[in-house]
Structure 1
Amino acid sequence: MKKMFLLASSILMLSFLVSDNTISKKERNYASKLLKDTEKGVFEQVKGLTEAQLTFKPAPDRWSVEECVKHIAASEEMMWQMVDGTLKQPANPEKKTEIKFTDEQLVQKIEDRSNKVKTVEKLQPENIPLKNTEEALDAFKKNREKLIDYVKSTNEDLRAHIATMPFGSADSYQLLLFIGAHSNRHTQQIMEVKADPNFPK
């Protein structure tokens, strides 16, 4: 009986040790909600649009709705590869002091469209090998669902893996939030296209 008690205590202690290295329930819920809400936002904004509406460009140097969706889909995959690559590197918690943004501040910064940023060549719509909006949405949905499942189940110590980004340092958990915020940034762009006075009726 004593041995059983000691074994149970050891397992319980081990479970606490393991859970200390994972993101909290609150963090999981926050990231999951952000990813779900921003996925829903993309689909809501393109629902029912005609081919003419999807391909309308407000100006030669501005993207159409379809181009925005292609960019969102391609970025989703590329940014997950970036997160995965960061997690495969040795943990570097000593760099936590380099992180200057809270989670909420990071999301707000990425979603803020008043700060214009030119994307990398690979993620320019003309360089993305997705044929149309439907194919892009399928790819986006597939990758986003995988990401949400990952957030709900991962035991990785996301806070201990820090990456240096163009906007500053961020841990792997924040990079997951970045993905959700990024899709919302371009959902806002889609809304801007739809608000153009010349948008097809």
Structure 2
Amino acid sequence: MKTTGILLIALSIITYKSNAQATLTTTERDYAIRSLAETEAGVFASVKDLSEAQLKFKASADKWSVEECVKHIATAEKALWAMVEESLKKPANPDKRAEIKFTDADLVKAVEDRSHRSKTFAALEPANSNYDSAAEALANFKQNRDKLIAFVKNTQDDLRNHVSVLPIGTYDAYQFILLISAHSNRHTQQIDGVKANARFPKK
């Protein structure tokens, strides 16, 4: 009887753990927080002390200015985070994990790699943003990024088992957060490219 009782207790513990909500590991949480903080700082460093002429300079009619890059970053930040929030309102769907094609590292690498160009959705085009200036876009970007960092620091949600299947790919909620971070870095690189143009205004 004693042995049977011990086995029942052990089984109940195993069952509880299997049904418990899976939270982020310390490594996952720290990596996401660091990535979000570093890429936020990168955006602000890339536009620090730029004049209006520099913000609005375009290498050609079909290229984005620094200001347009900033507007896109802010608009995408808000839209992508809304997708994460929406996915977390739905039941966890771990069965969809088999459809995820990228590891975390490969996803970040792919998003940050500007040798592969892609056209953004019309809703995320700078011309369709709600921001009148780079300053307004930056303020909104910072507000949303700070909220996201606070969320990652404190969330106990099962981010790994909330999977979104979208036209742009299949990702779990944690990967979506990494995508948001990598996306801002992708366009920080674009800003640096604009500034490197030989015709970029001196001031």
Normalised to the residue count of structure 1, the TM-score between the two structures is: 0.89
Cα distance between partner residues in 2 of 1:87 and 1:20: 13
Matching of residues 85-96 of structure 1 within 5 Å: 85-96=86-97
Aligned twin of 1:67: 68
Per-residue displacement from partner, 1:144-195 (whole Å, max 9, x unpaired)? Answer: 0000000010010000011123343211100000000000000000000000
Name structure 1 gaps, 5 residues minimum: 1-12
Residue 177 of structure 2 corresponds to which residue in structure 1? Answer: 176
Once superposed, what is the RMSD of the aligned Cα atoms? 1.8
- Return the alpha-carbon distance in structure 2 between the equivalents of residues 54 and 176 of structure 1: 28
Matched-pair contact (CA < 8 Å) for 2:163–2:170: yes
1:104 pairs with 2:89 = no
Q: How high is the sequence identity, in percent, across the aligned residues?
A: 53
Q: Which runs of 4+ in 1 moved over 6 A?
A: 15-19
3-state SS of paired residue (2:69): helix
Give the Cα separation in 2 of the matches to 1:42 and 1:52. 18
Paired amino acid for 1:159 = R
Q: How far apart in 1 are the matches of 2:101 and 2:187?
A: 24
Matched with 1:83 is 84
- Specify the code of the residue in structure 1 equivalent to 2:29: R
* 1:53 alignment partner AA: Q
Q: Give the total of aligned pairs.
A: 189
Where do 1:29-40 residues align within 5 Å? 29-40=30-41
- The alignment's TM-score, normalised by the length of structure 2, stands at 0.89
Looking at structure 1, the residues matched to 56 and 169 of structure 2 have their Cα atoms a distance apart, in angstroms, of 35
**2:11 equivalent in structure 1:** none
Residue equivalent to 2:48: 47
Gaps in structure 2 of 5+ consecutive residues: 1-13
Bigger mean CA offset, 102-111 vs 87-96: 87-96
